[in-house]
Structure 1
Amino acid sequence: MKFSNSMLFPEKNAPNHIKRERSLNMGRLVPFILTSLFIVSVFTFFLLYSPNPLLVIPKQSSDFVQQKQQEVPDQTNITTKPQKEKVQKCDLFKGHWVPALNGSFYTNSSCATIPDSKNCFKNGRKDIDFLNWKWKPEKCELPRFDSKTFLYFVRGKKMAFIGDSVARNHMESLLCLLSQEETPKDVYKDSEDRFRKWYFHSYDFTLIILWSKFLLAGEERITNGTGSSIFDLQLDKVDDSWAKDLPDFDYAIISDGHWFFRVMYLHEGNKLVGCVYCHEPNVTDLNIDFPFRIAFRTAFKYINSCRNCKKMVTLFRTFAPAHFDNGAWNTGGYCNRTAPVSEGEVDFGRFDWQLRNAQIEEFEKAKEEGKRTGHKFELVDVTRAMLMRPDGHPGSHWGNQWMKGYNDCTHWCMPGPVDIWNELMMEVMIRDSGFRSGL
């Protein structure tokens, strides 16, 4: 085929009016082309130098962006339900006291259930620095007690404190802490005010104290209608006043100790096996740590044999020491310190520490046995921390009009270092669940 110039260059042979039209069209296109080139240049510059260019993201990067978006919580779905977070474990019970500016969790006015005997400020205590300390484990931080989180954690549950008046002191501290979130209803009190029950309606949570001097079955000898402070103790039988209700509880906090410093005759079945402080001929004279150890062994054995108690977690709180200086409670002893002592100042050879070690040995055996029987045991070891707190007792500020001149260096002021027991207990409960719940 033969090509002509008109075919290759048609504009040369076009009529004049067509040439003029094309020239006008080209004139209109030039600004558009220049504008487009400018936009393309700017866009190219942006792609090359912008820190966040709009590039096509490879699949791996796209997955990373999607993952990051999933990690951002959806603010529209946040509720008051605690979120689960893995617990970081350390030894909670080995540490020291450090200054804290947070002060107490509650006051005389914010907790209406502080008993007069532990209401140290009401009874004239003036110093307040003993409130400005917190327990610091060596290798972690102990989370501060949060009443709302605690109540959410135990919603629908029943918790019983089982033991003596120091066990009650522990329960009363928890009651004050939780009342900062909700005022509980006082639903039961026996004639001697030794068995109490409180109910937190919004959380369907019941808090109970069951009085037991020794955890074991025991009776005081009565002379001329008056108590003699001499007891017959049955080493192989638990006190039915707490044992009969055990299947109803989700948590049982077991503790005891200070009633063992009395004259006791010890029995197994119908056999007298010895005594404490009796000094009778033909009767084996035993140290306090013997019935003390046996009491926890028998109590733990009973719990492990309880077929209907497998939903329950047994929390064992160790012995909380008294701090009498220059005498006993009835020989002029007192406790007027206003600050903690260091661990280096604590005598770990003292009898309180020996009692705690006996408890720990029985607890460890029970915990191992519980793995076989399906019962769960957890430890709340307060002894070391409280050995350093001789400043935490009521001393002369306990308002007992019948025992003026005597000091209470056994129980604990409220508020005071006793509140740390519930911080430790809450952390143990959370660790038992495997997750931390934070609102």
Structure 2
Amino acid sequence: MITLSTISQVEMPVDVYKDANDRFRTWYFPSHDFTLRTLWTKFLVVGTQRVINGSASSVFDIHVDKIDMQWAEKLHEIDYAIISDGHWFFRKMYLYEGDKLIGCVFCTDTNVTNVGLSFAIRRAFQTALKFVNGCNECRDLITLIRTFSPAHFEHGTWNDGGRCNRTMPLSEGKVNLGGTEWEVRNVQVEEVERAMMNGWKRYRVLDVTKAMLMRADGHPGSHWNNNGMDGYNDCVHWCLPGPIDAWNDLLLGVLKKEPSLH
């Protein structure tokens, strides 16, 4: 986890809180009077999983204009927020605004417009950053957007034979800056720039996408006999030391530029 792995080398934290699903966590470092929190959300905005034939499906109803308060309600208690999101949007979704259906993603419905992945992510980030801008109690908050980090599935997706078993980084020339991952990254950066122009809050970008596109070797994949997900390779949740550790260096570099830290 970004930051926790770095700080815990100096001081072991007090495990203050963990919810039943291990999604909301709080750690406290007494000697540094520093609190670290993880606030979990699928889409930044309200998303409801559809139940089909009595079972949870992989289809979601997303209200792109309604913030997910489970994470957002805690922002006024935080000095620095790192927002990262994207992978949950890679599934069939129906989008609503003002409680009216406005489109879908990864769908083939004849009577609903497929608005595309980037539209859904853009609207979710717009709503999230609009909430930050309107948070009167968040006046000193610095919000950092960590851009999209690819999963590097090859020869299929997570549930149809995809794998991430490369052992060497890609060269810069082999990185695809025209693919979906880069498109998602551009949407995120554009919305941060828009928020900076239109708001009085402080925003920063942790732009990790290009560097992470090169690190296709960063996933354990089949090299650790990962069969925990019904035999599927997990190229998202587990990473080897190195690539994600670099995010800490980037975060520290960005924070060092903040006047409040000098």
Residue 387 of structure 1: which of 178, 199, 213 is its match?
213
Amino acid at match of 1:331: D
Structure 1 position 285 matched with structure 2 position 114: yes
Amino acid at match of 2:172: E
Amino acid at match of 1:363: V
Alpha-carbon offset, residue 410 of structure 1: 2.1
State the alpha-carbon separation in 2 of the partners of residues 401 and 337 from structure 1.
18
Query: 1:367 maps to which residue?
Result: 196
Residue 67 of structure 2: which of 238, 252, 257 is its match?
238
State the alpha-carbon separation in 2 of the partners of residues 354 and 278 from structure 1.
19
Residue 235 of structure 2: which of 394, 402, 409 is its match?
409
Change beyond 3 A, Cα 1:398–1:290: farther
Query: 1:248 maps to which residue?
Result: 77
SS in 2 for 1:378: strand
More helix by share: 1
Residue 101 of structure 2: which of 272, 280, 292 is its match?
272
State the alpha-carbon separation in 1 of the partners of residues 12 and 224 from structure 2.
25
Change beyond 3 A, Cα 1:404–1:224: closer
Structure 1 position 355 matched with structure 2 position 184: yes
- Aligned pairs for 1:81-92 within 5 A: none
Query: 1:216 maps to which residue?
Result: 45
Residue 376 of structure 1: which of 192, 202, 208 is its match?
202
Give the % identical residues: 55
- Aligned pairs for 1:47-62 within 5 A: none
Contact 2:175 2:214 in 1 (8 A): yes
SS in 1 for 2:39: strand
Alpha-carbon offset, residue 400 of structure 1: 5.3
Gaps of 5+ in 2: none
State the alpha-carbon separation in 2 of the partners of residues 214 and 220 from structure 1.
12
Alpha-carbon offset, residue 365 of structure 1: 0.5
Contact 2:255 2:261 in 1 (8 A): no
Amino acid at match of 1:233: I
Amino acid at match of 1:379: V
Structure 1 position 422 matched with structure 2 position 251: no
Pick the structure with greater CA Rg.
1
Contact 1:337 1:391 in 2 (8 A): yes
Alpha-carbon offset, residue 252 of structure 1: 0.5
Alpha-carbon offset, residue 255 of structure 1: 0.9
Amino acid at match of 1:387: L
State the alpha-carbon separation in 1 of the partners of residues 169 and 132 from structure 2.
36
State the alpha-carbon separation in 2 of the partners of residues 187 and 211 from structure 1.
16
Amino acid at match of 2:139: K
Moved more, 264-273 or 223-232: 223-232
Change beyond 3 A, Cα 1:206–1:430: same
Amino acid at match of 1:366: A
Alpha-carbon offset, residue 335 of structure 1: 1.3
For residues 230-259 of structure 1, the C-alpha deviation after alignment (integer angstroms, 9 at most, x for no partner) is 111001111010111111100100110001
Contact 2:226 2:234 in 1 (8 A): no
State the alpha-carbon separation in 1 of the partners of residues 132 and 14 from structure 2.
29
Query: 1:301 maps to which residue?
Result: 130
Alpha-carbon offset, residue 177 of structure 1: 1.6
Query: 1:201 maps to which residue?
Result: 30
Amino acid at match of 1:186: D
CA RMSD of aligned residues (A): 1.6
Alpha-carbon offset, residue 412 of structure 1: 4.2
Alpha-carbon offset, residue 328 of structure 1: 1.1
Alpha-carbon offset, residue 350 of structure 1: 1.0
Change beyond 3 A, Cα 1:414–1:392: closer
Change beyond 3 A, Cα 1:250–1:191: same
Structure 1 position 337 matched with structure 2 position 185: no
State the alpha-carbon separation in 1 of the partners of residues 234 and 40 from structure 2.
19
Gaps of 5+ in 1: 1-171
Alpha-carbon offset, residue 401 of structure 1: 4.9
SS in 2 for 1:379: strand
For residues 292-323 of structure 1, the C-alpha deviation after alignment (integer angstroms, 9 at most, x for no partner) is 11111111111011111011100111000111
Amino acid at match of 1:236: D
- When normalised by structure 1's length, the TM-score is 0.57
Contact 1:396 1:406 in 2 (8 A): no
Contact 1:412 1:418 in 2 (8 A): no
- Aligned pairs for 1:149-188 within 5 A: 172-188=1-17
- When normalised by structure 2's length, the TM-score is 0.95
State the alpha-carbon separation in 1 of the partners of residues 173 and 205 from structure 2.
24
Contact 2:227 2:233 in 1 (8 A): no
